[in-house]
Structure 1
């Protein structure tokens, strides 16, 4: 592997850790694994997370392509959040962290 290729790979890995390193990001992804959820449902599952911070993290995860915001045009209009294909693959990669946490923490 050339130094240039190694540096590019390192930058991508660093970006992944930056996304996951932000407080609450992992739990939000974990909450959305099973099915799409409305903002209030995500907040109910992580009640210690302020609504402002939840909104900020959802927007960041959406900007990264991990979460998608779905507007459902029923009456009343609903908004649901779900994982994209990339987000689902990330959730699979995070599964060992769940196993480790349940065993050791």
Structure 2
């Protein structure tokens, strides 16, 4: 019986969904979800985005935005100024995530309860 379970587990590992794996490689990283959540509302300047996400460092925010841009989900736009300001907005591909993210939010509210994050709510 143990032999059968080992075969079954090995078979399951070979069939992990590549698409789901790619999604969680990006969204499984800390801060990615909150960044996208803020950008779902509107285009935001870097400083505004940082203020909207308590606890994130400038470096981490910059790194995550770079990853999201490389994935084609976020566009970086430079406002000539003065002062020079950088804004970020979701691309069409980024906006297309909204229904899925709303479903995940509803699932979270139903099954994970209403526990507040350590940083509190904005």
Q: TM-score range by the shorter chain?
A: 0.7 to 0.9
As a proportion of its length, which structure holds more helix?
Answer: 1
Q: Tell me how many residue pairs correspond in the alignment.
A: 98
Structure with the larger RCO, 1 or 2 (CA within 8 Å, 6+ apart): 1
- Residue segments in structure 1 that go unaligned for 5+ positions in a row: 1-6
CA-to-partner distance for each residue in 1:5-43, whole Å, 9 max, x for gaps? xx7x93232111211111110110001011100111111
Runs of 4+ aligned residues of structure 1 deviating over 6 Å after TM superposition are none
For normalisation by structure 2, the TM-score amounts to 0.72
1:50 CA drift (Å): 1.2
Q: 1:59 aligns with which of 59, 66, 69?
A: 66
Structure with max Cα Rg: 2
Instruction: Tell me the residue number matched to 2:48.
Output: 41
Mapped to 2, the partners of 1:26 and 1:54 lie a distance apart of: 12
TM-score (norm 1): 0.83
Give the CA RMSD over aligned residues: 1.8
